[in-house]
Amino acid sequence: MLSSLPPFALFFVGAVVIAFTRGTARKVLILAIPLVGGLNLWFGVEPGLHLQFDLLGYTLTPYRADKLSLLFGYLFHLAAFLGFIYALHLGDGTPEGSVAGEVGEDDIVGNASAGLQHVAAMVYAGSALGAVFAGDFITLFIFWELLAISSAFLVWARKSERSYATGFRYLIIHVISGVLLLSGALMLAHETGSIEFGHVGLAGTGAAGWILLLSFGIKAGFPLLHNWITEAYPESTPTGTVFLSAFTTKVAVYALARSFVGTDVLIYIGTAMTFFPIFYAVLENDLRRVLGYSMINQIGFMVAGIGIGTSMAVNGAVAHAFADVIFKGLLFMSMGAVMTMTGRTKGTDLGGIYKTMPFTAGLCIVGASAISAFPLFSAFVTKSMIMVAAIEEHHYVVWLFMLFASAGVLEHAGIKIPFFSFFAHDSGIRAKEPPRNMLIAMSIGAVLCVLIGVFPAQFYTLLPYEMDYHPYDFRHVVTQLQLLAFGALGFITLVKSGVYPDEKRAIHVDAEWFYRKAGPWLVGTVGRAVTRVDVYVRSSVLEFVGSIMHGAKRTHGPVGPLAKSWPTGSMVLWVAILLVAYLLFYL
Amino acid sequence: MTDHLPVLLVVVPLVAAPIAALLNRPRLSWAVAVAATLWALYVALELLSQTMAAGVIHYELGGWAAPYGIEYVVDPVNAWVVVIVALIGALVAPYACASVEREITEDRIPLFYAAFILCLTGLLGIAVTGDVFNVFVFLEISSLSAYALIALGSDRRALTASFQYLIMGSVGATFIVIGIGLMYVMTGTLNMADLADRLPEVSGTRTIPVAFTFLTVGITLKLALFPLHLWLPNAYTYAPSAVTAFIASTATKVGVYLLLRFFFTIFGATFSFDVMQLDRILMPLALIAIVTMSLVAIYQENVKRLLAYSSVAQIGYMVLGISFASVLGLTAGILHLFNHALIKGALFMSMGCVMYRVGSVRLERMHGLGRVMPWTMAAFVVGGLSLIGVPLTVGFISKWYLVQAALEQGMWPVAGVVLLGSLLALMYVWKVVEVAYFHEADPELGISEAPLSLLVPTWVLVLSNLYFGINASDSVGIATRAAEVLLGAL
């Protein structure tokens, strides 16, 4: 019976139930729901259309399983399971050994909003599952909006003024994405008569294709549409961000893989995404925001893979999405653990805490190795498929940019994150290891990063398309090791050649300044150019919106002519004017 | 008795109104009102099922044959409108008991119920009659009682609002009667079907376009189409809560019905749209209404006023659907007639609950109500989602058909305006949600949840928003039939 039930149903029912339970019962439930759902999906569900009915003359398919949706289904159950293990301690008070009280907020963990976080995360995970198993655009739209609303609550769960404002902006952006999705779907339905959530592409679909692409693009963080990622992720609670990082953007990647495989423009959009965030990430001081930029960079690889569109490229894209949820989740978890225990997330405030948090540091390094695509770690066996496909399809320039971006990943995520938080100068913070549930969640993530990296063949059987690819050939391993070695060498050379400030000054100096010194030619020139274009586009859009808002307020505001109460005489005058106008029109 | 249902629909409430006034005891008068509305609802549903099964019902009043006597005609179009009016009436009447006791002085309550039943009578009569002069008579009955109902509001500004509505309503009614008079002069008949037969012979004259013009202005004033909506915001804002909920969900809907009846059944779609090009007037005004009135709503601080402006925008949607003059467009318009009654009924009723406990519906008085009045505000949120057009609510069904109708004509920008309207609706609904859920309540005020007698009718409407949003086949089926009847009657 359970196998014919759509996966989201269990989560939504669960969300209602956990809203009314407390303590141990809730803890058991939040772990059991993703676990039972995931096992059921793994053992009990075969590809096929499991639920379908007619509404308003259209066929709705709320539950369609094929290899692509099943892969994301497994992934989201896994991510939800890890996330809930990680969030298990919510509501238990400040963790033992935390020094977060010294700085910032009293309740940085978000104990006060524990119930809200658990329920919102449950609805959020359920909506993500609903979206990937949706077989038509209307169902997709419903879950698209539910994703937006439930995740906005995770941002608000921080309960600060800033998180409120941020969450609101986040919600608006995502609702706009939803409206675009619905408009595109309507136009498509009008043109083709079908609302099936399948391949759309840009050829022969007119404006509908572009509008849908824009809608997906907002959720996937396309350049200039990416701001919500780097704005919202650092504002949520430590646990909230872990959930946020897992679902929204990956649903967008799934939607792109479903509807826009082989769309050329995605190759260039994706490449730009791998490339431009690096400059921001290198400059950024808030380490969770650095991870936000890093996320855009990783999605860029996936988007480019979908754009290339060969079996191997798409396999690479979805495999990389799978791996990314785990290693990026692991990195966000480790930063969340640091934040929980120290109350800080800025590179300049942290440092030296490996002494008291060795396990967290070790797990963070595993995540960093995975994202940097070290051999024997997950990204090595996933990202490489996209790179190889780019070469096979003769996209050499794209390949070069991606190679550069891969080196950039090492700089900003592979080295910067663990280095600044756990090593660098000693900040004197003596926080203890995070609660055990956080360590367990991170350990499972770390083990998975390694397992995928060591046994790629087993992992590849889950991928949607047939292909013949072996990541561990001599050339690939050596190339990758060289890239990593030279990347690290560059970093160390810059550090050792005196550009790196000495220990005494480093305590007082902003990391941003250090990085500007470390790579003035790179950051200074390219970075500023990217920023300038970005700032120009954004400020002109803002100016335009601002002038519309101002005009609207003048005419439509409480004292504007359209809103004020008119004297009776003027009302009657209007009637007379209209009568004359109509008469002139008719006669 | 079933043969006489069309007239009993009107006569029973008409007799009940003076009884309610003569009994002169608040609770007894209330009971009469509830009985009358329940009766109307029963008859309305019966008539709808009869006409859907057996076609058009003709009833000759007093046995005088048409076209000399007054004829009542029930087809899917007006049966549907009658059901909407009676349904809202039957929900507002039980709701009114507690709400009115809080907002109106006790000695006026029996008169309130008398006026309420009369207003219902008038609205039902407009819908059910097949005689254009009879339309005018019932229009005056409903309007005069509505002026009285609005003037009963506890705010003193209710008097000026009612007075303005009286002036404007009378101007509108006069224009309508001038239009009817001109048609009578040219054709010698007042029966709708007869008029429809004879008008084509004289449509080449100057007089008929002038009649058409007067009717256009008069009817669009009654249904508050921009820019003739100016009477509406104050009237809705200062009227007693129960009155606002009733009038907002019914009066303008009956106005829309008149628009359909006059321009489709009597003049015929060909004359109205091909010769007179009515769509060139209706569509731009509807689009302007959707955008500007939604914008105005965003800036309002009084939630009833906010919802009033939103109503003007929503009327824009109905008129927009009608202005396509296609089956799909008419279906969308007629569907939204019903759906919007459910939406605004639920929203204004939830505001009535707030009025009952807080004594004001200004935003600054509604801080943190989401916690202290969870059911009331949840009703508002669901109603608001429906207003925005979120799937699984009736608002979505309306928008869906409207957008489809626009696309059918290849009018992409119009479809864009409809979706823009949804976005603006999101903004003004959010204003209320933000205040109610994201601000702390003042615990000293000791506000508690509204009583069940208010919550139950409110939630019946809220749940029907969801029910007809999920299972739309009935409402869509009837609306489509109605649209086909209107266009088939050319």
Write the DSSP assignment of B52-96 as a string of letters: HHH--EEEEGGGPPTTTS-EEEE-HHHHHHHHHHHHHHHHHHHHH
Q: How confident is the model at residue A73 (pLDDT cuts 50, 70, 90)?
A: very high
Q: Is the pLDDT of residue B115 over 50?
A: yes
> A425: which 2 tokens?
């100068």
Give yes or no for a contact between A6 and A62, defined as CB atoms under 8 angstroms apart: yes
Q: How confident is the model at residue A502 (pLDDT cuts 50, 70, 90)?
A: very low
Q: Is the dihedral of CA B70, B17, B56, B408 positive or negative?
A: positive
Contact B230 A574 (CB under 8 A): yes
Please give the Cα distance from B193 to B210 (Å, whole number): 20
Q: What is the pLDDT of residue B310?
A: 94
Alpha helices (runs of H) in A343-377, residue ranges in sequence order: 358-371
Neighbours of B207 (CB within 10 A): 13
Q: Which amino acid is at B281?
A: I
CA atoms within 13 A on the CB side of A178: 27
Q: Report the number of distinct structural domains present in chain A.
A: 2
Q: What residues have CB less than 8 Å from B463, skipping those under 6 apart? A: none
Query: What interhelical angle do A287-308 and A238-259 show, nearest 10?
Result: 10
Q: What is the pLDDT of residue A520?
A: 55
pLDDT digits (tens, 9 = 90+) for A194-239: 888 988 888 877 788 899 999 999 999 998 888 888 888 888 999 9
On whether both A419 and A534 belong to a single domain, the answer is: no
Give yes or no for a contact between A127 and A143, defined as CB atoms under 8 angstroms apart: yes
Average pLDDT over residues B431-448: 82
Q: Is the pLDDT of residue A190 over 90?
A: no
Flag whether the ipTM exceeds 0.85: no
How distant, in Å, are the alpha carbons of A292, A488, B100, B272 from that of A522? 21, 16, 73, 69
pLDDT digits (tens, 9 = 90+) for B214-260: 999 999 999 999 888 888 998 999 999 999 999 999 999 999 999 99
> A376: which 2 tokens?
């024997």
Q: How confident is the model at residue A296 (pLDDT cuts 50, 70, 90)?
A: very high
- Residue B129 backbone phi and psi in degrees, to 5: -80, 155
Give yes or no for a contact between A136 and A195, defined as CB atoms under 8 angstroms apart: yes
Average pLDDT over residues A304-324: 92
Q: Is the pLDDT of residue A306 over 50?
A: yes
Q: How confident is the model at residue B206 (pLDDT cuts 50, 70, 90)?
A: confident
- Chain A residues 52-81 with CB within 8 Å of chain B: 55-56
Three-state DSSP class for A65?
Answer: strand
Three-state DSSP class for B446?
Answer: coil
On whether both A331 and A368 belong to a single domain, the answer is: yes
Contact A582 B309 (CB under 8 A): no
Q: What residues have CB less than 8 Å from B194, skipping those under 6 apart? A: B66, B67, B187
Name which residue leads in pLDDT, A357 or A572: A357
Is A497 part of a structural domain of the chain?
Answer: yes
Q: What is the pLDDT of residue A508?
A: 31
Contact A183 B415 (CB under 8 A): yes
Contact A207 B167 (CB under 8 A): no
Please give the Cα distance from B486 to B472 (Å, whole number): 21
Residue A559, classified by CB atoms within 10 Å of its CB into exposed (0-12), middle (13-18) or buried (19+), is: exposed
Looking at chain B, the number of H-run helices and the number of E-run strands are 21, 2
Q: What is the rounded average pLDDT for all residues in chain A? A: 84
On whether both A363 and A450 belong to a single domain, the answer is: yes
Name which residue leads in pLDDT, A370 or A498: A370
Nearest to A145 among B228, B296, B390 (CB): B390
Plot region of A367 (φ>0 → left; ψ -120 to 50 → alpha; else → beta): alpha
Give yes or no for a contact between A18 and A30, defined as CB atoms under 8 angstroms apart: yes
Q: Is the pLDDT of residue A436 over 80?
A: yes
- Chain B residues 187-226 with CB within 8 Å of chain A: 206, 209-210, 212-214, 216-217, 221
Neighbours of B209 (CB within 10 A): 20
Number of CB pairs < 8 Å for A and B? 105
Q: How far is CA B456 from the centre of its chain?
A: 21
Interface test with B, best of A159, A169, A574, A579 (most B CBs within 10 A): A579
Nearest to A571 among B230, B400, B423 (CB): B230
Please give the Cα distance from B232 to B304 (Å, whole number): 11
Nearest residue of B to residue A208, measured between CA atoms:
B412
Residue A499, classified by CB atoms within 10 Å of its CB into exposed (0-12), middle (13-18) or buried (19+), is: middle
Q: Is the pLDDT of residue A107 over 80?
A: no
On whether both A396 and A325 belong to a single domain, the answer is: yes
- The last residue of one of the domains, among A511, A546, A570, is A511
Between A51-65, A133-147, A268-282, B300-314, the lowest mean confidence (pLDDT) is in: A51-65
Question: Which run of H or of E encompasses B127?
Answer: helix B109-128
> B198: which 2 tokens?
């004879």
On whether both A288 and A410 belong to a single domain, the answer is: yes
Contact A190 B233 (CB under 8 A): no
- Chain B residues 134-163 with CB within 8 Å of chain A: 163
DSSP, residue by residue, B164-231: HHHHHHHHHHHHHHHHHHHHHHHHS--BHHHHHHHHHHHTTSSHHHHHHHHHHHHHHHHTT-TTS-TT
Residue A498, classified by CB atoms within 10 Å of its CB into exposed (0-12), middle (13-18) or buried (19+), is: exposed
Give yes or no for a contact between A550 and B188, defined as CB atoms under 8 angstroms apart: no
Is A163 part of a structural domain of the chain?
Answer: no
Contact A179 B422 (CB under 8 A): yes
Contact A186 B309 (CB under 8 A): no
Cis peptide before B67 (omega within 30 of 0): yes
Contact B217 A579 (CB under 8 A): yes
pLDDT digits (tens, 9 = 90+) for B118-131: 999 999 999 999 89
Please give the Cα distance from B326 to B484 (Å, whole number): 9
Nearest to A582 among B217, B227, B231 (CB): B217
Name which residue leads in pLDDT, B83 or A499: B83
Contact B391 A557 (CB under 8 A): no
Is A503 part of a structural domain of the chain?
Answer: yes
On whether both A383 and A493 belong to a single domain, the answer is: yes
Q: How far is CA B361 from the centre of its chain?
A: 22
On whether both A398 and A539 belong to a single domain, the answer is: no
Q: Would an 8 Å CB–CB cutoff place A583 in contact with chain B?
A: yes
Between A94-103, A438-447, B148-157, B407-416, the lowest mean confidence (pLDDT) is in: A94-103
Average pLDDT over residues A316-323: 92
Contact B426 A175 (CB under 8 A): yes
Query: Could you tell me the residue range of the domain that residue A538 belongs to?
Result: 519-557
Q: What is the pLDDT of residue A498?
A: 54
Q: What is the pLDDT of residue A49?
A: 75
Is A341 part of a structural domain of the chain?
Answer: yes
Is A58 part of a structural domain of the chain?
Answer: no
Contact B295 A556 (CB under 8 A): yes
Q: What is the pLDDT of residue A172?
A: 85
Q: How confident is the model at residue A515 (pLDDT cuts 50, 70, 90)?
A: very low
Plot region of A204 (φ>0 → left; ψ -120 to 50 → alpha; else → beta): left
Average pLDDT over residues A308-334: 92
Q: How confident is the model at residue A61 (pLDDT cuts 50, 70, 90)?
A: confident
Interface test with B, best of A166, A190, A587 (most B CBs within 10 A): A190
Q: How confident is the model at residue A112 (pLDDT cuts 50, 70, 90)?
A: confident
Looking at chain A, the number of H-run helices and the number of E-run strands are 23, 2
Give the total residue count for chain B: 490
Q: Is the pLDDT of residue A248 over 60?
A: yes
Q: How confident is the model at residue B144 (pLDDT cuts 50, 70, 90)?
A: very high
- CB-based burial, A351-365: b 16+ in 10 Å, e otherwise: bbbbebbebbbbbbb
Q: What residues have CB less than 8 Å from B259, skipping those under 6 apart? A: B219, B220, B223, B319, B322
Three-state DSSP class for A64?
Answer: strand
Residue A46, classified by CB atoms within 10 Å of its CB into exposed (0-12), middle (13-18) or buried (19+), is: exposed
Three-state DSSP class for B129?
Answer: strand
On whether both A416 and A551 belong to a single domain, the answer is: no
How distant, in Å, are the alpha carbons of A101, A327, A439, B83 from that of A334? 19, 10, 9, 61
Name which residue leads in pLDDT, A343 or B313: B313
Nearest to B171 among A190, A552, A572 (CB): A572
Q: Would an 8 Å CB–CB cutoff place B417 in contact with chain A?
A: no
Q: Nearest Cα to A484, choosing from A584, A391, A369?
A: A369
Q: How confident is the model at residue A521 (pLDDT cuts 50, 70, 90)?
A: low
Q: What percent of chain A has pLDDT over 90?
A: 30
Cis peptide before B94 (omega within 30 of 0): no
Angle at A60 between CA A54 and CA A65, to 5 degrees: 135
Name which residue leads in pLDDT, A511 or B446: B446
Contact A579 B234 (CB under 8 A): no
User: What's the N-to-C CA distance of chain B in angstroms?
Assistant: 33
How distant is the Cα of A491 from the closest Cα of chain B, in angstroms? 47
Is A172 part of a structural domain of the chain?
Answer: no
Nearest residue of B to residue A180, measured between CA atoms:
B419
Give yes or no for a contact between B29 and B23, defined as CB atoms under 8 angstroms apart: yes
Plot region of B359 (φ>0 → left; ψ -120 to 50 → alpha; else → beta): left
Q: Is the pLDDT of residue A512 over 50?
A: no
Three-state DSSP class for B389?
Answer: coil
Contacts of B392 in chain A (CB under 8 A): 142
pLDDT digits (tens, 9 = 90+) for B20-60: 999 888 899 999 999 999 999 999 999 999 888 888 888 88
Q: What is the rounded average pLDDT for all residues in chain B? A: 90
- Chain A residues 204-243 with CB within 8 Å of chain B: 207
Q: What is the pLDDT of residue B205?
A: 87
Contacts of B214 in chain A (CB under 8 A): 579
Is A110 part of a structural domain of the chain?
Answer: no
Please give the Cα distance from B280 to B283 (Å, whole number): 6
Contacts of A56 in chain B (CB under 8 A): 397, 400, 472, 476
Nearest to A583 among B210, B234, B415 (CB): B210
On whether both A375 and A437 belong to a single domain, the answer is: yes
Is A363 part of a structural domain of the chain?
Answer: yes
> B7: which 2 tokens?
């007239």
Strand partners for B131: B191
Name which residue leads in pLDDT, A435 or A587: A435
Q: Which amino acid is at B50?
A: Q
Contact B407 A187 (CB under 8 A): yes
- Chain B residues 251-280 with CB within 8 Å of chain A: 276, 280
Q: What is the pLDDT of residue A527?
A: 66
On whether both A338 and A449 belong to a single domain, the answer is: yes
Give yes or no for a contact between A413 and A372, defined as CB atoms under 8 angstroms apart: yes
Angle at A384 between CA A298 and CA A203, to 5 degrees: 70
Nearest to B296 among A556, A575, A585 (CB): A556
Q: Nearest Cα to B239, choosing from B302, B298, B312?
A: B302
On whether both A531 and A504 belong to a single domain, the answer is: no
Q: Would an 8 Å CB–CB cutoff place A190 in contact with chain B?
A: yes
On whether both A458 and A507 belong to a single domain, the answer is: yes
